Amino acid sequence: MDATTLKELLAWLMSAPGAGAVAYWLIGVIPALEALAAEPKRYVALALTAACAVGAWALSAGIGLVPMPEPTVAAWLDAVVGVILVAIIGNQALHARRVLSKRVK
């Protein structure tokens, strides 16, 4: 895998569609997660989306594809919370558009 492909893959994993797709794929292939009721499954999906996005961001920062935050707790918290919010809010907007809008008809 070349650097451009890795950079694009990590950028996709940090985004709402990428992190959410991985989260829902994991839920679909892990029987214990798939068997959960709707409400707990939603929270698991949110946690997996956040973990995937933060993991991709941390790897990207670690290998120099994105800038490291300043060496302060506040800067790191800002960066991590920002990555989580972008992934989760974007994913929830996509879910509302694609899934929930079909239920309202």
pLDDT in tens, 28-39: 899 999 999 988
Q: Angle 50-53-56 (CA atoms, 0-180°, nearest 5)?
A: 145
**C-alpha distances in Å from residue 88, one per residue of 18, 19, 29, 52, 72:** 11, 9, 21, 11, 24
Domain segments of the chain as ranges: 3-103
pTM of structure: 0.81
- The band of 44, judged by pLDDT with boundaries at 50, 70 and 90, is very high
pLDDT of residue 100: 64
pLDDT of residue 103: 66
Using the Cα atoms of residue 24, residue 28, residue 34 and residue 38 in order, give the sign of their dihedral: positive
- The band of 4, judged by pLDDT with boundaries at 50, 70 and 90, is confident
pLDDT of residue 57: 93
- The residue assigned the tokens 């989306």 is 49
pLDDT of residue 7: 86
**Beta strands, E only, 1-105:** none
Residue 5 tokens read as 């492909």
Neighbours of 70 (CB within 10 A): 11
pLDDT in tens, 45-92: 899 999 999 999 999 999 888 888 999 999 999 999 999 988 888 777
